[in-house]
Structure 1
Amino acid sequence: MTDPFRNHYVALPKAHLHVHLEAAMREATLRQWCSEDGIAVPPLVEFSDFTRFLDAYGVLIELLHTPERVGRLLDEVVADAAAQGVVALEYASIPEKSAAFASAEEALEFILPAAAEAGRRHGVWTGAVLSIDRGAGPDHALAGARLAARFADRGVVAVGLVNDERDSSVTAAAEAFAIARDAGLGVVPHVGELAGPEEVRAAIELGVDRIQHGVRAVEDPWVLDLLAETGTCLDVCPTSNVVLGVYPSLEQHPLPTLLEAGVRCSIGADDPLLFGVDVVDEYVRAEERMGIASARLAECARTSVEASFAPDEIKLDALARLA
């Protein structure tokens, strides 16, 4: 990848809508903290299965055991986003898993203002997506949605749904999603990654705002048409899908098919540290290895801004620059 080619996509104003906070840690920071704590550096980029990926993610969470580390992480993640031409960053996290704080509420009370301050320093709007762990049961989902609702005017912009979808349908979170909507929050679940197009259809029927991944919609033409008809945005992360074995290579990834079918897509990096790419890398790879024209990728950037929960003034400025 040439610097001028990368610089073209750095200069493209974009929102990064699919990125998990802990896994956006810098590799140098990871190695420093592992050394300080006397633990092994987890595997990066290569995982034998989804469980090994979750194990590596668990190490990242374990490292964030002081507020000082969480504050440094937030500043570095937002600084990196700014360097990648990101104008709006929606970062996902599960606050109750933080070892640095006594409760999920305490975690959010620290994280949200720290992220906003980092955003002001680096010129990036930030919004938090509170992730519900679909494997933790219905009580956890309801508690997570109610927690998000309490922080709806303090930096939380949406609720998400994470973990292995093969064991729990998106429909199980319907009540939690309703609580989030009543609080004015968005709903952005992970579906259509490890499970098939039936989960994408179920999410659309629940009225979600965006779908994280959703790529397996291509397996059902009816669902593909439904996505295009409703205008539901997919937050697509091609490298993540390849590393986790959803597709064998970038060349066989369905992002070009989705775009040709009229599906609105944003492009994200998902877990930059664990998958070895940032959001600009994903744009570059989409052109170089997937054959997507730069003009169409500029439309993905436009979609990312339009589909974000950023304030109107942030969107209008970015869209004017894209125009």
Structure 2
Amino acid sequence: MTVVASGRQRPAAGARDLRALPKGHLHLHLEAGMRPATLTDMCRRLGIEPPPTSGFTGFTEFVRCYRALLAVLQAPEHLERLFHEVFEDQAADGVVYVELAVSPALYAEAYGSTPAALARMVAFADAASRAHGVSHGLMATVDRTAGAAQAVEVARAAAALAGEGVVALGLANDERGFPCRDFAEAFAIARAAGLQATPHAGELAGPESVREAIDVLHADRVLHGVRAIEDPALVAVLAERGIPLDVCPTSNVLLDVVDAIEDHPLPRLLAAGVRCSINADDPLLFGPGILAEYETCRTALGLSDVQLAACAWTSIETTSAPVEVKAAARERMDAWMDEKGTQA
């Protein structure tokens, strides 16, 4: 597989600065938003060895690496620190709205219950948002491998906090053998509370998973969704209905969804009229943050500044971000496009 470098690149002479492009980050899992140095420091404080964050092959090993991160986050002070650093990093990358995927069921034992864990996460996120000036919402995320009963528990906890920091219900982990239809009840609870439906689909499973996400779960956005490209009729449906895909290019390369970054279907999806946002997924494990992903989409995928700005607008306009955040972002995007740049 081919992966581009994840470090911050200096804009080419005359190129618009992608950091200055206001953007939303809609596909970012809390635990893997951790800084490498923070993981090392937290492990040192706990007297444990840092878990591996690279070298995994395939999704199963990736999940094992991800789960190992939980060992350092059960202490409230560590979880609170993580929220603050994630928001600080988003601000540094030019993010004006972040929809952070959180899994409260993973912290139910530490905080007494799934609802209590989610409430604590809401409080941490609110404080971090105020401190770093990044608007936010939380996506309470269901683990599709944990069963329908836990999914309903998470959905009810999310519904209870709708409008108070929680904006969406997500669905993550391995699609294979855990189809969207198994979680229809949980998503019905979420929709009734006014939450957006934002399941993962079309990553490890094919276009049929995306169809189920939109037809059964009534997805407002689909996280990943890139394997829709295998079904032209489905691509047409996504374009016609304006259902966005929250795409993570580097993640798709490292988890073998595509063979190389140059093969990523994002340019073809955009050309077909599908709305897409650009996201980092799990920076601690995959490398790039969101700014580096935008740079990769410019340099490796050849997206123009018009296309990048359109992705940035999708990442804000299609969310539950406050009206004033959307208006300010639109104004700044227009100003960004008005700048003289070498890439139209």
TM-score in terms of structure 2 length? 0.91
8 Å contact kept, 1:88–1:308: no
Alignment deviations for residues 107-131 of structure 1 (CA, whole Å, 9 cap, x no partner): 2222112211211111101111000
Find out whether 1:278 has 2:289 as its counterpart: yes
- Calculate percent identity across the aligned residue pairs: 50
1:145-164 paired onto structure 2 within 5 Å: 145-164=155-174
> Using the alignment, how far apart are the partners of 2:69 and 2:275 within structure 1?
32
State yes or no: 1:191 paired with 2:201.
yes
What stretches of structure 1 of length at least 5 have no aligned partner? none
Q: 1:19: which partner in 2?
A: 28
Counterpart mapping for 1:38-187 below 5 A:
38-98=47-107, 100-187=110-197
Distance in structure 1 (CA, Å) of the matches to 2:292 and 2:9 = 11
- Indicate the residue corresponding to 1:252 in structure 2: 263
Match of 1:238 in 2: 249
Q: Distance in 1 between matches of 2:331 and 2:274?
A: 23
Q: How much does 1:100 deviate?
A: 3.8
CA drift of 1:67 comes to: 0.6
Contact 1:256–1:290 under 8 Å retained in 2? yes
Note the alpha carbon deviations across 1:162-218, whole angstroms, 9 max, x for none: 110011111111111111011011110000000000111111213211000000000
Contact 2:203 2:257 in 1 (8 A): yes
In the alignment, the residues of structure 2 paired with residue 246 and residue 137 of structure 1 have an alpha-carbon distance, to the nearest angstrom, of 25
Displacement of 1:267? 0.5
- Distance in 1, matches of 2:9 and 2:134, equals 26
Select between 298-307 and 44-53 the one with higher mean Cα deviation: 44-53
Structure 2: gaps of 5 or more residues? 1-7, 335-344
Mean Cα deviation higher: 262-271 or 151-160: 151-160
Shift of 1:25: 0.4
**What one-letter code is carried by the residue in structure 2 that aligns with 1:72?**
R
TM-score computed with the length of structure 1 as normaliser? 0.97
Q: Alpha-carbon deviations, 1:223-250, whole Å to 9, x = none?
A: 1111101100000000001011111110
Q: Does 1:9 align with 2:18?
A: yes
Q: CA deviation at 1:139?
A: 1.0
RMSD of Structure 2 on Structure 1 (CA): 1.4
* In 1: Cα distance, 2:110 partner to 2:186 partner: 26
Range with greater deviation from structure 2 (99-108 or 115-124): 99-108
Q: Secondary structure of the equivalent of 1:80?
A: helix
Cα 1:273/1:68, change in 2 over 3 Å = same
SS at match of 1:315: helix
Code of the aligned partner of 1:89: V
Contact 1:45 1:243 in 2 (8 A): no
The 3-state SS of whatever aligns with 1:240 is: helix
**Contact preservation (8 Å) 1:64, 1:100:** no
- Per the TM alignment, residue 7 of structure 1 is displaced from its structure 2 partner at its CA by 7.6
1:154 deviation in Å? 1.7
